[in-house]
Amino acid sequence: MSKEKRSPMIHLAKRSEIDPKAAWAIRFGSVIVALILGMIPVMITGNNPIEAYGIIIKGSLSKPMYIKQTLKVAIPLLGCALAIAPCFKMRFWNIGAEGQITAGAIAASYFALYWSDKLPHIVLLVVMFLSAIVVGGIWGLIPAFFKAKWNTNETLFTLMMNYIIIGIVAYLQGGPWEGRKGSQIIPMFAKNARLPEVFGVHCGWIIVLVLTLLMHIYMNYTKHGFEVAVIGDSSNTARYAGMNVGSIMMRTMFLSGAICGIVGFITVSGANHTLYSGVANGVGFTSITVAWLSQLNCFAMIIISMVLAILTKGSNTLQTKLAVPASISGIVTGILLFCMLGCEFFINYEIKIRRNKEAKV
Amino acid sequence: MADNCAVELRNITKRFGSVVANSGINLQIKRGEVLSLLGENGSGKTTLMNMLAGIYQPDEGEILADGKVVAINSPKDSYALGIGMIHQHYKLVDVFTAAQNIILGINDEKMDIKKTSSKVREICQRYGFDIDPDEKIYNMSVSQKQTVEIVKVLYRGADILILDEPTAVLTPQETEKLFVILRNMRNDGKAIIIITHKLNEVMAISDKVAVLRKGEYIGTVNTCETNPQKLTDMMVGRAVTLNIDRPKYADPKPLLKIEGLTCVDKEGIKKLEDVSFEAMGGEILGIAGIAGSGQKELLECLTGLYPIQSGTIKFDNDGEEVNLVGMAPMQIKNMGVGMAFVPEDRLGMGLVGSMGMTSNMMLRSWKNGKGPLFDKKAPESLARKIWKELEVVTPSTSFPVRRMSGGNIQKVLVGREIASNPKVLLSAYAVRGLDINTSYTIYNLMTEQKMKGVAVVFVGEDLDVLLELSDRILVLCGGKVSGIVDARTTTKEEVGFMMTSIGGKGGEV
């Protein structure tokens, strides 16, 4: 024979299909692996990891007070994950949620600061809500417009837009909206401009739960949702079916920005009662994790955003109790994301080990 | 063994699964000679050359370099033997300069851009290339990029060059320039193989022609002893009888009138030039041509998916004539122009691979009905109807179509398009990759539509099928209409000849 060709011992092969049950088993396994890996940094700090996980759970769920605080963290995460879900479904990588939240927060804050004595409570809140939708939506629309017209890169564009709007807040903070001169702080909102509480937590939670239901319907049962799904699979097919890809892209990004705007409104009116440049507080980025971990399933987002909120809130307790840095929650979240994304690889590919040499024909 | 035989292939066979791409092929490539490898699409030219380039390995047979049996297991081995292949799709890094691209991947040499540049200049001077080694790739024209690819293999010391359809993207002037360079290299003692299906170029450049047909080696002839007609005969072979039923429609009426249609792509290259024809209701108009002669663009122009530079497309909408030029697909649909389109790229354009049959039916009807919610009932029942009538093999109507077999995917697509009761049915390579039975199902569906008075446009690649299925055949050559012939009276040779040279000897019908 002219040549002896050996295939390697181990190689990867693309799976043609996988049983959904097996896929979920792999996903569940990856969460377990992530939790186990998450123990390592705790052990490095010289603590018992099992005890640490216990404290995280206790510190976030054991008292009504803790639960309220955990919910406050979960609300914006869930809202924002809902906002970026249709973009990601369309494969439009909107990582500018941070900026769109901030844009909505600015609009709501304007009315909170300058119209609170002129409008009654409910009317003021509705005006703040609507203005946040419009401004957040426009902030999301801009990168989509450029993408549709000149095919700019949406990832970079939306990211850059974040820094612009955060800069604008910093300017307002130190300039026109500054409270006491030299304080660099915008004054607290009047009572009139604050969201009422329901069961001890600002009513933002009702808003995001309603949004969850609406977004689920939007993505799965509406004409718009169908268009988004088709574009996500193949924009050529969308064109073939007579869809105007550019305008659908702009419409979806407006919607996404608008929901982010609502999150911004909830944050300033319900939680912070004021505006500062860090108002979004990384929610725009963390919510990408939420959306991705839930595979863009709106109801799964409720669970995932709660899990991340528990990790965040519980880690703060962990810090006071065991002097383990609170950034442990960031580490565990990171490991979780890494494992979940990594497991998609094992869902799509299988590892084949060569047993014996195949007979040559 | 001949002393100047650079590479010899003996009895090479290559299979992909059950498909035999090459079967028992023998080929000799000599130094100081240009060999053309001629054959229709899918005749196995590129596969054969990829085995020389180390991308595939033959299942049977042997490769000899300078008279010795060799194993080419990777492109590296291929380079070591002095074989360099210039692929149809260039593999260059856009943001690098020409010189940087040229030394990319050479490990055993110190990175010395200046030395490389001067060596590149030397190669350029020797053969008459016209590129600046310090120019970035993204600033270059298509022909300059090709030059970089050629210089790249020369720089690595290749003296056996394989060019895969090098002229497909070039203008006639650029082609002429390339040929001058190829002749220079030949005179320098290099062995050159060019893969092509353009007969005039074969005649102009090569010393010898090797012909493949459906994976088989037909023979090698000296270019000076042959002519385009003889080569066409070797390429297309004798006509095969398929027994496709071809009834005649009583009263064909013109439905689509296309006049002077011209369009250009993003790079400004003309894809269609002054195309005029009529498509009749009750007739199958076959469209023949080498791949990339403008078939795809023609169908996409008709459906409003490709920008048209000039010309008119007139559609007879129940006695009222409408011009479709400049309309978006949705506008055409809203005008009531029943146009069905089975595109070449089934999963990338005609269907959504990740969705099931029902959702794919919705691609044509999702806008129907008032309100923001879509109606899933009608598409669901349509999906069930197609599932049953066309015997689509799938576990359910929500099973992702991507995971179905090729034939079933095509049944879903054709079934949906026919279900819209079109007046015009456009199809591109509707039976590509399908087994015999499914192919006949598709032919019958096309003929059924024809007998209902639909104007069927059938872009095909298998001439035997076109000859037996169509009523008339329009032959495209390089974006121009080479001729329109009566499918009942023409011959395979005539159509084949018109495909490779404008006008052929066929007259208008």
B contact test, residue of A216, A234, A235 with most B CBs within 10 A: A234
Query: Are B353 and A222 inside 8 Å of each other by CB?
Result: no
Q: Do B347 and A234 touch (CB under 8 A)?
A: yes
Identify the CA nearest to A188 among candidates A121, A264, A248, A271: A271
pTM: 0.77
Q: Give the tens place of pLDDT for each residue, A83-101.
A: 999 999 999 999 999 999 9
CA angle, B178 as apex, B140 and B153 as ends, to 5°?
70
The residue written with tokens 């047979």 in the block is: B61
DSSP-derived pairing of the beta strands B208-213 and B33-38: parallel
How high is the pLDDT of residue B328? 85
Question: What would you report as the CA-atom Rg of chain A, rounded to the nearest whole angstrom?
Answer: 24
With beta carbons less than 8 A apart as the criterion, state whether A204 and A104 touch.
no
pLDDT for position B504: 55
Q: Do B349 and A5 touch (CB under 8 A)?
A: no
- Picking from B13, B70, B349 by the largest number of A CB atoms within 10 A of its own CB, the best residue to mutate is B349
Out of B73, B303, B353, closest to residue A5 by CB: B73
Residues in B whose CB is inside 8 Å of some CB of A read 57, 59-60, 62-63, 69-71, 73, 303, 305, 328-330, 333, 341, 343, 345, 347-355, 359, 362-364, 366-367, 372-374, 403
A233 and B352 within 8 Å at the Cβ level: the answer is: yes
pLDDT at A103 exceeding the cut of 60: yes
Position B1 scores a pLDDT of: 41
Among chain B residues, CA nearest to A239: B305
Measured from the Cβ of residue B236, the count of other Cβ atoms closer than 10 Å reads: 21
CB < 8 Å from B in window 216-255 of A = 221-224, 226-227, 229-230, 233-234, 236-237, 239-244
Test B353 with A233 for CB contact under 8 angstroms.
yes
State the pLDDT confidence band at A251, using cuts at 50, 70 and 90.
very high
Give the pLDDT band (50/70/90) at residue A246.
Answer: very high
Q: How far apart are the first and last CA of chain B?
A: 53
Q: For B37-92, write each residue's pLDDT tens digit.
A: 988 766 888 889 888 888 888 888 888 888 888 888 888 888 888 898 988 778 88
Calpha distance B507→B493 (Å, rounded): 14
CB A233 to CB B354 under 8 A? Answer: yes
Distance, CA of B481 to CA of B438 (rounded, Å): 30
Q: What is the pLDDT of residue A7?
A: 52
Contact A234 B343 (CB under 8 A): no
- For A234, nearest residue in chain B (alpha carbons): B348
Across the interface, of B343, B355, B362, the residue whose CB is closest to A240 is B343
Q: Is the CB of A3 inside 8 Å of chain B's CB atoms?
A: yes
Asked if B148 and B140 touch (Cβ cutoff 8 Å), the reply is yes
* Cα-based distances in Å from B230 to A258, B28, B119, B211, B235: 69, 21, 44, 11, 9
ipTM for the whole complex = 0.81
Quick one: pLDDT at residue B4?
67
pLDDT score of A355:
58
pLDDT at residue B74 in the model: 86
Out of A2, A237, A243, the one facing B62 most closely (by C-beta) is A2
Q: In residues, how long is chain A?
A: 361
Sort out which chain A residues have CB atoms less than 8 A from B349's CB and list them: 234, 236-237, 240
Q: Give the distance from residue B330's alpha carbon to the nearest chain A alpha carbon, in angstroms.
A: 5
Other beta carbons within 10 angstroms of residue A300's beta carbon come to 15
Mutation pick from A214, A226, A235 vs chain B, by most beta carbons of B within 10 Å, is A226
Sorted by where each starts, the structural domains of chain B and their CATH numbers stand as 5-236 (3.40.50.300), 265-500 (3.40.50.300)
Sequence-separated (6 or more) residues with CB below 8 Å from residue B5? B28, B29, B30, B31, B64, B66, B67
Q: Kindly report which listed range (A50-64, A109-123, A292-306, B38-52) carries the lowest average pLDDT score.
A: B38-52
Please name the member of B73, B351, B374 whose beta carbon is closest to the beta carbon of A221.
Answer: B374
Report residue A305 CA to chain centroid gap: 8
Measured between beta carbons, the chain B residues lying within 8 angstroms of A242 are: 328-330, 333, 367
Neighboring chain A residues of B353 at a CB cutoff of 8 Å: 233-234
What pLDDT is stored for residue A5 in this prediction?
47
Cβ under 8 Å to B: A residues 9-48: 16-17
CATH class of this structure's domain A68-324: mainly alpha
Long-range Cβ contact pairs of A352-358 (< 8 A, separation 24 or more): A352/A10, A352/A11, A352/A12, A352/A13, A353/A9, A353/A10, A354/A7, A354/A8, A354/A9, A354/A10, A354/A11, A357/A6, A358/A7
Q: If contacts are CB pairs under 8 Å, which of residues 187-216 in chain A contact chain B? A: none
The residue among A224 and B46 whose pLDDT is bigger is A224
Interface probe with B: pick from A151, A215, A230, most Cβ of B within 10 Å: A230
Q: Which residues in chain B have Cβ-Cβ distances shorter than 8 Å to A229?
A: 352, 355, 359
Of A221, A222, A237, the CB nearest to B349: A237
Q: Which stretches in chain B have pLDDT values below 50?
A: 1-2, 505-509
**pLDDT for the residue B246:** 87
Residue A133 has pLDDT above 60, yes or no: yes
DSSP B97: B
Best to test chain A binding among B15, B55, B363, B380 (most A CBs inside 10 Å): B363
> Which residue ranges make up each domain of chain A?
9-45+325-361, 68-324
Mean pLDDT of A322-332: 79
Q: Over the stretch A26-53, which tens digit does the pLDDT of each residue have?
A: 888 888 888 888 888 888 888 888 888 8
Among A2, A244, A295, most B C-beta atoms within 10 A, so best to mutate, is A2
Helix (H, G, I), strand (E, B) or coil at B11: strand
State which residue of chain A sits closest to B417, comparing Cα positions: A241
CB–CB contact A2 B329 (8 Å): no
Q: How far B215 CA lies from chain A's nearest CA (Å)?
A: 19
